[in-house]
Structure 1
Amino acid sequence: MTLNLLSQSKRFKTAPLPFVGQKRQFIGRFEKLLLNNIPNDGEGWTVIDVFGGSGLLAHNAKRLLPKTTVIYNDFDDYTNRLKHIPTTNALRQALSDILKHEPRSLKLSSTVKQQVLDIVKDFQSQGKFIDVQTIAGWLLFSGRQVADLDEFMAESTLYNRITKTDYELADGYLDGLVITCESFEQLLTKHQATPNCLLLLDPPYVCTTQSAYNLHERGGYFGMTKFLTLMHYVKPPYIFFSSTRSELLDYMSYVEQYEPHTWERIGGFERIVVKVTVNKGLGYEDNILAKF
């Protein structure tokens, strides 16, 4: 796609399909960081979305800086989910017919649950794509994730949380991106010497639940060893997404005190705090650490 057509295509402020941990609440601040620090529409720059996720950051980086080379590391096979949105919508419609008279967010009766599972099995028997992450959001308790369809089918309790409308087709969402799928070590090793290379870093939080990262066959638990390996590769410019639920800020404080050489490389960042509300009386802080 030419730069002119790219600039005219739709810019998404939220991911086309559900994705746990997508950075939609950060997009405004992310935009300011890019536009304030990277000139000339990004000409001569490379942006690497290292842990890719829904591709929302990569998508917005390419729309904001159309001359930039943006690499989207699709570690979670999100591009495949996007290709099958029409099939996902067809499944949603079939399930909605069953659930239209069921109370919202409440447990399904055993009869209705079996009807739901029969529809899913029918789609599976026809060889149709089933977006397990999306149907988990429709039918499992809020925030519950499963690794595969077998785990979903074995769930003892289902709920009616299905969306009321179809998903928009993601036309143009991935346009202009360089799409890859590899470990962060492989990806960052390739680009250690790439000039003007901005790293977008949104790794799993150390010492927290990491079910999404574990879903991928190349994933596994993102523990302290993987985190330290990642930090070995990190150098400015970078934008690091974190949370008070992670230990990144504690790590940075430790490095500042005990590892001056490492601090010289990664320290001196700008910290932007975003307060996230889960529900009334419950929330937490998310953070952006940026160094250009």
Structure 2
Amino acid sequence: MQLNAGCDLQFQAEGPTPLVLMLRPRSGAGQWIIREEYQITPTVNVTEFTDMYGNLCQRLVAPEGPFSIHFTATVQTADAIDVAPGAPYTPVEDLPDDVLHYTLPSRYCQSDQLSELATQITDGVEPGYDQPEAIRRWINENIRYEYGTSDASTSAVDTAQHRVGVCRDFTHLGISLCRALNIPARMVVGYLYQLDPMDLHAWFEAYVDGRWFTFDATQREPRGNRITVAYGRDAADVAFTTQFGPMTLESMRVWVDALEPEPEETEPAQPTGA
């Protein structure tokens, strides 16, 4: 499906404020960027770099006063995500070098404190794909989704204790429980078609059977039509905006719309003889 997705961000800066933005998706597995538009008001100098996870990042300095960012992209997305019940566990000694660090605890994902819960959730489950799927299902059924119940400091341990949160919290808990079982897991942020309520979204991927698979604990069933913007160990690596000074986000609007396919051109009908 072709999706048009984007966001409008309105800021107020108290003074010149350096920013790092992470708003541009890249073409890759399950998505192809057809076109995109990036508008920054007022106009400032922008440089772009690729971080250690392969994410596209933009650096700039916002001037004092109102500052707005508009980004939109048309993306061809996969209608479904791959699932692989029964796929085998990848032993740690066989993990690629660039995957190995996703087994370690990180700022919001204290996997070393959640081993007992991970073992309970996956008791009797065969090692491999079925373990992160059991974790995803347990979170979906046991953690209440509710806005305003967590903040930027909430960690996976907090969510496991309080049993409430939003997509970021669901994702941190899923990542931590996977890592507690020595299954590499990483955070993904982006857009999901028909997310209700609409917002920027987060989910996790787990590495089994030699590849990454998508798991979204906020959804009851596997859903495609996702646009990935960034990957990282946890939310500290994938913030859409990172500011280095006093700056207030005053409003944000997010949209994901399906595009109607272009009508196929047909040859004009030719008159037939009598």
Query: TM-score scaled to structure 2, two decimals?
Result: 0.29
Q: Which has the higher contact order (CA 8 A, sep 6+)?
A: 2
Give the structure with the higher percent helix: 1
Which TM-score applies when normalising by structure 1? 0.27
